[in-house]
Structure 1
Amino acid sequence: MKLKKLLSYTRRALDDYNMIDDGDKIAIGISGGKDSLTLLYALSHLRRFYPKKFDIEAITVSMGFKNMDFSPVEQLCKELGVNYTVVETQIADIIFSHRKETNPCSLCAKMRKGAFNIKAKELGCNKEAYAHHYDDVIETMMMSLIYEGRFYCFSPVTYLSKSDITLIRPLIYVHEADIKGFRNAYNLPVIKNPCPVDGYTKRQYTKELIKTLNSENHGLKERLFHAIQTSNIPGWNKSDLLLNTKPTR
């Protein structure tokens, strides 16, 4: 995928779901993975010509794994003209050494989000951007069906009342396959995830399940995404936005 295509998909999401307002300062969560680096690339270029003026901050929450080198990400941020902050934590030690969690993902995510929110507020940001993409949307909905028995997915725009900050997801129209292509085309400095449970999660199982179903039922992903957009899941139905109603927060 070329930059022009990435910017087109990202801008469409921003416009469809009214993600950005004039004067926004947006904290981008940078894990070092392909998704967050692609989001960084997209928003750093869009801010130059998007009709609503906004600024961005790149933030990495380091979990405290040894030998994690974020200097390649720092260099990319310099090239893109984006301020970069690394938040040092001991999350890995707490989860794997002290608590010895057998299912650590939920607690880990909660702790990382907490650290990210605090730093975003310290830097004066009123919004945060997560790099959830098209496939993440479908997988989250399927996980909700399989493990919770309900038709649900995160929203494109979510107001976090406890932190008084708005969360946006600008990559919801970008397929993971395109992100992989963008990573290769632009030599993104992806940092390998050292987490010992990476690749062995419920999300990975769901990803493989959807891949199999889609190969047997061509166009399944598109139909699932359409079902989400036309559902009653808060924040997703674009017809509500056209009637000037804000997404449920």
Structure 2
Amino acid sequence: MDIAFENRKLEKRLCRLVGQAIDDYRMIEDGDRVMVCLSGGKDSYGLLDILMRLQRRAPARFELIAVNLDQRQPGFPADVLPNYLRTLGVPFHIETQDTYSIVKKVIPEGKTMCSLCSRLRRGILYRVARELGATKIALGHHRDDILQTLLLNMFFGAKLKGMPPKLVSDNGEHVVIRPLAYVPEKDLIRWAEVRQFPIIPCNLCGSQQHLQRKQVGDLLREWDKRYPGRIDNMLRALQNVVPSHLMDRGLYDFAAVRATDRPEAEGDLAFDDEPLAMPDAHDATGEAPMAARRIVALTPQDA
């Protein structure tokens, strides 16, 4: 196997999928100043790396600024990210706030710190985005994160709710985007190895990964291994919602349903098995999960 050839294919696929997501949801527009939240993990490194590649090729002109929040966790290697970002030549800002001590003081020993830590981190990043004049805040959540969130909300929150690719922040001030929305985690793992990103461990605070999220992640990985194309179809399902065939009375007026005495395109085939579309042949390989969609301006040419 030609490793260099496979690496080039991976780069093109990542750029294509990120460019597609950006175009589909109008995540980045001409003149945007995009704040890329960098944690030191593979996903945020991959996000910045691909956005920099698209920035050089895209017709839309936009700025990037990488931002890391140093929460003063014991053992955090504070020099790693600044040194790496200087080699890239990308503008960056390191925000230092001792949220670690606050969380340790408030949360009893042995309890998870993630929820409070996340709220504190979010508020700080919103302030930094405002101070830097950022028009968009880019996060490194990928396809698998989105599907894990969907299943977690279904299983434990009784909500049909995922992780949108673009939304307004909870304080109403910012637009948050997830350009990796179409990207499989396995591709980001491979890309991190190819690029040799200086990964910073995510367990410095002593917290463990949420068991429920880990279990759901393992489930998705097993499905992807045993049934190629299933994960891609799950993502497609989030883009093809049929409210009349769910049960949310707030989304569809079931009380107003009446016989129409004419054929209905969305009518329920109540006594038939629902026909299932077979996945595209390319989906199983990950080469073209969005093959039926239009080619986007942000996507580099394969040639």
Look up the match of 1:149.
Answer: 158
Query: CA shift at 1:99, angstroms?
Result: 2.9
Match of 1:93 among 101, 104, 108: 101
CA distance in 2, matches of 1:70, 1:165: 27
CA distance in 1, matches of 2:79, 2:16: 29
TM (norm. structure 2) is 0.72
1:17-67 deviations in whole A, cap 9, x for unaligned? 111111100111101000000001011221112111100111111222122
Unpaired segments of 5 or more residues in structure 2? 1-6, 244-250, 252-293, 295-303
CA distance in 1, matches of 2:104, 2:170: 30
| Count of residue pairs brought into register by the alignment | 236
Residues 158 and 168, structure 1, Cα contact 8 Å, conserved in 2: yes
Query: CA shift at 1:217, angstroms?
Result: 4.3
Unpaired segments of 5 or more residues in structure 1? 235-241, 243-249
Alignment of 1:51-66 (within 5 A): 51-66=59-74
Look up the match of 2:83.
Answer: 75
Query: CA shift at 1:192, angstroms?
Result: 0.7
CA RMSD of aligned residues (A): 2.3
1:169-203 deviations in whole A, cap 9, x for unaligned? 10011111000100001101111111322334432
CA distance in 2, matches of 1:177, 1:16: 22
Specify the code of the residue in structure 1 equivalent to 2:149.
Answer: T
Structure 1 outlier segments of 4+, above 4 Å: 213-218
Alignment of 1:180-219 (within 5 A): 180-193=189-202, 194-219=204-229
Residues 32 and 70, structure 1, Cα contact 8 Å, conserved in 2: no
Query: CA shift at 1:136, angstroms?
Result: 0.6
CA distance in 1, matches of 2:32, 2:193: 31
CA distance in 1, matches of 2:101, 2:162: 31
TM (norm. structure 1) is 0.87
Residues 44 and 80, structure 1, Cα contact 8 Å, conserved in 2: no
Look up the match of 2:48.
Answer: 40
Q: Indicate how the Cα distance of structure 1 residues 187 and 215 shifts in structure 2: closer, same or farther if over 3 A, else same.
A: closer
1:111-169 deviations in whole A, cap 9, x for unaligned? 11111111111111011000110111110100110111121112111122625111111
In terms of Rg, which structure is larger?
Answer: 2
Q: Indicate how the Cα distance of structure 1 residues 161 and 100 shifts in structure 2: closer, same or farther if over 3 A, else same.
A: closer
Q: Aligned pair 1:17/2:25, yes or no?
A: yes
CA distance in 2, matches of 1:104, 1:59: 22
The percent of aligned pairs where both chains have the same amino acid is: 27
Look up the match of 1:162.
Answer: 171
CA distance in 1, matches of 2:67, 2:139: 11
CA distance in 1, matches of 2:210, 2:149: 16
Helix, strand or coil for the counterpart of 2:108?
coil
Q: Aligned pair 1:172/2:181, yes or no?
A: yes
Q: Aligned pair 1:134/2:143, yes or no?
A: yes
Q: Aligned pair 1:27/2:47, yes or no?
A: no
Residues 61 and 88, structure 1, Cα contact 8 Å, conserved in 2: yes
1:189-245 deviations in whole A, cap 9, x for unaligned? 1111113223344321221232334445443312211211212699xxxxxxx9xxx
